[in-house]
């Protein structure tokens, strides 16, 4: 039985006061008895605040990316050990905005994934096709290539501590959500692929859906067999909406 997970990707949003009030509202709406794991991904400068406010709670936190190098002359970058220092449990790798805006290739993503696992962070690997790729019938091959890059570099065992998020690029921040059928089809493809490599990992790994998840569409998506929760962008910035999405996963 997989415990659902709902994660909030705050992207480059927030301020000290906004982050403090959002975290306090999430704390007020959560308890260790919750049937859903709740995770937030604030921007780097606010991880310290997350650590301070969330450390004794059931809510966990992570970073939106990391540099694959351990340390050194990488101006502007952040290492895995720094994230661990700030109490991060998770790190996003391969978000489509990183792939598209910052040129991260499948092999860059695999390198970040490897660094995260070796450091003891739990990577949340994002995969997804563009609208053009979907229209050309390439969805399955794109997703397969994105996952194969990680499997080739890190091996199937590295996925034991990972989560996958299927995020169709055309659904992120657009208000267009994949239908539950469209999402389930890709989630099943991912799970079958992993099951073929390792029964235990394939059946235990959580596969989240991301792309304009809201309090009104979450329940239908999360009801599908292979959808184990969501990676939520815009709707994670309002505690009420984010908690309603969490409740839809319970």
13 catalytically annotated = no
Beta bridge partners of 127: 166
In the block, residue with structure tokens 């992993």: 194
Minimum gap (Å) between residue 170 Cβ and ligand PEP: 10
Point out the catalytic residue in the list 95, 114, 129, 187: 95
The footprint of ligand PEP on residues 123-152 (CB under 6 A) is none
Report how far apart, in Å, the C-alpha atoms of 46 and of each of 7, 16, 62, 64, 153 are: 16, 7, 11, 12, 32
| Region from 70-78, 83-91, 142-150, 209-217 binding ligand PEP, contact rule CB under 6 A | 209-217
The answer to the question of residue 210 lying near ligand PEP (CB under 6 A) is yes
> Binding ligand PEP by CB under 6 A: which of 63, 109, 154, 213?
213
Report how far apart, in Å, the C-alpha atoms of 31 and of each of 3, 10, 120, 235 are: 15, 21, 25, 21
How many Å apart are CA 227 and CA 164, to the nearest integer? 10
Q: How many CB atoms lie within 10 A of CB 24?
A: 12
Closer to ligand PEP by CB, 180 or 210: give it. Answer: 210
Helix (H) or strand (E) holding 207: strand 206-210
The answer to the question of residue 215 lying near ligand PEP (CB under 6 A) is no
167 catalytically annotated = yes
- Say how many Å lie between the first and final Cα of the chain, rounded: 13
> Binding ligand PEP by CB under 6 A: which of 9, 60, 184, 215?
9
Closer to ligand PEP by CB, 79 or 242: give it. Answer: 242
Minimum gap (Å) between residue 237 Cβ and ligand PEP: 9
How many Å apart are CA 5 and CA 226, to the nearest integer? 13
Closer to ligand PEP by CB, 43 or 202: give it. Answer: 43
The answer to the question of residue 232 lying near ligand PEP (CB under 6 A) is yes
By the criterion CB under 6 A, which residues form the site for ligand PEP? 9, 11, 167, 172-173, 210-213, 231-235
């Amino acid at each position: 039985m997989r415990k659902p997970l709902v994660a909030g990707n705050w992207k480059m949003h927030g301020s000290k006061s906004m982050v403090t009030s959002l975290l306090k509202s999430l704390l007020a709406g959560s308890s260790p008895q919750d049937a859903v794991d709740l995770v937030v991904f604030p921007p780097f400068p606010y991880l310290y605040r997350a650590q301070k406010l969330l450390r004794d709670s059931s809510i966990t936190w992570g970073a939106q990316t990391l540099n694959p190098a351990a340390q050194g002359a990488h101006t502007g970058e952040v290492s895995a050990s720094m994230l661990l220092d700030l109490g991060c449990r998770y790190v996003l790798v391969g978000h489509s905005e990183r792939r598209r805006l910052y040129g991260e290739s499948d092999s860059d993503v695999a390198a970040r994934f490897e660094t995260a696992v070796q450091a003891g962070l739990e990577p949340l690997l994002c995969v997804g096709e563009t609208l053009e790729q979907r229209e050309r019938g390439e969805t399955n091959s794109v997703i397969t290539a994105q996952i194969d890059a990680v499997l080739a570099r890190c091996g199937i065992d590295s996925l034991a501590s990972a989560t996958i998020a299927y995020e169709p690029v055309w659904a992120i921040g657009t208000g267009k959500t994949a239908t539950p059928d469209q999402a389930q089809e890709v989630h099943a493809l991912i799970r079958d692929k992993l099951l073929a490599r390792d029964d235990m990992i394939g059946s235990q790994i959580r596969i989240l859906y991301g792309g304009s998840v809201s309090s009104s569409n979450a329940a239908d998506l999360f009801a599908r067999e292979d959808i184990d929760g969501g990676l939520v962008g815009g709707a994670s910035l309002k505690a009420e909406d984010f908690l309603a999405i969490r409740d839809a996963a319970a």
